[in-house]
Structure 1
Amino acid sequence: MRWVAALVVCASPAAAVTCEDITHLGASFTVCDVTTDDDLQLFLRDDAGDILGSFRAVEAASGKNLLFAMNAGMYHDDRDPVGHYIEDGVEEMRVITSDGPGNFGLLPNGVFCIADTYTVIEARAYAANPPACTHATQSGPMLVIDGALHPRFIDGSDSRNIRNGVGTTADGQTAHFAISNDAVNFHDFATLFRDVLQTPNALFFDGKVSRLYDAASGRSDFGFGALGPIVGVLDDASAAD
């Protein structure tokens, strides 16, 4: 069994999303598993083109309740995506393959692609052979690349933050979304995906602003400002039902 310690909470029968609290290297994490049976989507703007920015706004715009949601990629001050972004097959931002400042530019970075399966792909490989993603979001750095940790991560680093990210199984049938409930460094966060969740590829979404929505447990994180891209699963039933 992969979990060190777990508290299982089950979502409504409308979807198979489950979130569990686990302990890894002395830190607490919440891991949410989303399978290809779930209608996983990205959300950025409402019908008027305005940034949604919050879990509540996603529900209001869709008319449905969220089962699960998480911030999903870095964004500028105006909440536009820093990197590649596709929603419902429409590309808003191209793939960025150059290095640069900050965590996003700490190459290799990557793209989380939602199609018939879920994949995390290194950004330059993605740009060289773009898959047909219904939804896609770019962030960085990669946490795990083909089973190896990002080469710049330092074991024991004192750079610690609340962090969140996603890893995908080798068969592409499940995406494991994780958020740390304690401040952790990149190395320890990455080993969660490599050693515990056993995902061959995993991608960092963000730190400090990391937030999670889990309807089954009643968790809805809040912060001091709007978000950019959000990934989530809506209930099949309308919010009014």
Structure 2
Amino acid sequence: MSFCVNCGVRLAPSERQCPLCDVFVNNPLSPWTEPAERPYPKRVETIIKKNVDAKFTVIIISISLIIPAIIPMLTDLFITGGITWSRYVLGALFCLFVFIPLPLMFKRPNKYLFWLLDTLSIAGYVFLIYSSSNSRGWYFSLALPIIVSVALGVLITMIITGSSISSLKKAAAISAIIGLVSVSIDLVINFYLNSASPVHWSVFVVSPLLVFSLIFHVIDRKVKLKEELRKRLFY
């Protein structure tokens, strides 16, 4: 048994030099000899990562979505004689297709384009539910403003995460955005319900988030504290 005189690593009997610092082993009591078998191969085999065929993946996922779409539709046709409740299943599967398989069709999908498509598909699906329900007025005064508010929050978050600012500034901005989106949702709900108070539950959401946002911003300005956190959190 030998140890490296430079870094102290315990060396295997097959090692002629330290694998970490390349210092040669010189142990008079145990001179090195060529081993019959090494614990690892002499050459490093290169593992070639197979390219995944995106189109094939899209086909598989699309077929997986078609099957659960056909069964409810045929069941609805046989029972009710038309497309009634199965439209909700079809609409949900269409949204799922827009979310997952559709971006895979492109090598470099435009995230802002698919943000728009995702928002439109969700808004369209909720409108499908609205048009099939007996109640009126809640889509344009409640559902659509909430969808737009959340979509704008997601869009701003995408822009921030794609920017070159520091991680702590990103965390501060995203915390503030989540808080503001919660306030906007609360405002829309209370306006729809004709509530006397414009905000209720969002106060308990936005308050700690704004505090966290302020903390992240202060830490980012303190260089020494930021470096200490970087060492401990490995970011």
Q: TM-score, normalised to structure 2's length?
A: 0.19
Higher relative CO (Cα under 8 Å, sequence separation at least 6) belongs to 1
- Judging by fraction of residues, say which structure has more strand: 1
Name the larger-Rg structure.
Answer: 2
- Judging by fraction of residues, say which structure has more helix: 2
Q: TM-score, normalised to structure 1's length?
A: 0.19
